[in-house]
Amino acid sequence: VHFSDLDTPALLIDVDIMERNVCRLAEYCRQHSLQLRPHTKTHKIPELAQLQVGHGAAGITVAKVGEAEAMADAGLHDILIAYPLLGEKKLSRLAALARRAHITVAVDSLVTARPISETARREGVSIGVRAEFDTGFRRCGLPIDPSSIETVAAIRDLPALEWRGLQVYPGHIMHTASERNGLIDRENERLTRLVELMDAAGIDRSILSGGNTPAAYQAHRFVGVTEIRPGTYIFNDKNTVCAEAATYADCALTVLTRVVSRSVSGKAIVDAGSKTLSADLLLSGNRQGYGHVMDHEGVVVEDLSEEHGHLDLARAARQPRLGDLIRIIPNHVCTCINLHDRVYGLRNEQIVNEWAVAGRGKVQ
């Protein structure tokens, strides 16, 4: 089937670009003796997680128990849940998961860790635990400070939990390549401090997990980091391109849309709005626009309704016609895929695969 025969809107994955992205980072990690544990919240597709593991990923990362369940259902074994888990319902599902997969959870407090330990002991399962530290993103993570030592040591010593080291998430290291250089220097001051604190306290840091997509190929520069968890890199998106960490030629996922109205002058309306592309703003520059329009120089996705994408044609090199197919690279690929039941694999313009987004909507 040629992709133009698909109904729209639809998500297309250029399989060659995706495989190149997966292989390239796997090779980089091999060269630098870094473990790779891709964050699969980007695609939520077990078959793609298997592709990553097949290329040498040590295991996978997920954000939610529901995502972990979808991955374990498909046979993925070594799963890190890089998200604070609280509440009895989640913990009983966690225990059930730990019976059938090798599970690690990231925690940043004893209040979170203790019930996980109690659940593991009561249910007779072993669960791995990692302590998360904040290196500047200011979302989750203990402060890198002597005051955190007591908490980390207590987490490490909780019964029925297996110590699996430390985690950081450098979500603040994006921007442009040159700005990242300075940010990495500052990050290294914090990581050096973290390493010194852990060594002085005798806390095993032989696993120190970090990494994101913008800084993926600088991962070897981060002090003490032994593992990285990039997710977006498998597809890349407009954010990654604006961060100078990829080019549009490295973007594997596009939203196939159709021009459904040309009645308003200076505009083309496509059948992909916020319920198809996601309304996430660009993370850089003027934050304007909702994606990159392929093969249509000067056309801007200036606004989104729920089901309509508003293309501004003021600077268009050529005018799209009613019924034309238009492919858009989303600003943020992870939130885009999460809106879709399936994606299509594309090779030489032919559909060669179809994958269900098994983890979509699994926010619990």
Ligand X SMILES: Cc1ncc(COP(=O)(O)O)c(C=O)c1O
Tell which one of 135, 232, 278, 331 touches ligand X (CB under 6 A). Answer: 232
Smaller CB separation from ligand X, 39 or 90: 39
**Alpha-carbon span 13 to 278, nearest angstrom:** 17
**Alpha-carbon span 154 to 296, nearest angstrom:** 57
Contact 345, 333 (CB under 8 A): no
* Binding string, residues 239-278; x marks residues near ligand X by CB under 6 A: ----------------------------------------
Tell which one of 141, 224, 231, 320 touches ligand X (CB under 6 A). Answer: 231
Q: Which residues of 132-141 are buried (b: 16+ CB within 10 A; e: fewer)?
A: bbbbbeeebb
According to DSSP, the β-strands at 10-14 and 342-347 are parallel
According to DSSP, the β-strands at 127-132 and 102-107 are parallel
When asked if residue 296 is in the footprint of ligand X (CB under 6 A), the reply is no
* Binding string, residues 197-226; x marks residues near ligand X by CB under 6 A: ---------------xx-------------
**Within positions 75 to 94, which residues make up the interface with ligand X, using CB under 6 A?**
82
**Alpha-carbon span 294 to 190, nearest angstrom:** 40
**Alpha-carbon span 234 to 22, nearest angstrom:** 6
- Binding footprint of ligand X, residue count (CB under 6 A): 11
What is the closest distance, in whole angstroms, from the C-beta atom of residue 212 to ligand X in the complex?
Answer: 3
**Within positions 19 to 48, which residues make up the interface with ligand X, using CB under 6 A?**
39
First to last CA, the chain: 36
Contact 269, 261 (CB under 8 A): yes
Tell which one of 130, 229, 360, 362 touches ligand X (CB under 6 A). Answer: 229
Smaller CB separation from ligand X, 211 or 289: 211
What is the closest distance, in whole angstroms, from the C-beta atom of residue 282 to ligand X in the complex?
Answer: 14
What is the closest distance, in whole angstroms, from the C-beta atom of residue 56 to ligand X in the complex?
Answer: 17
Binding site for ligand X (CB under 6 A): 39, 61, 82, 169, 212-213, 229-233
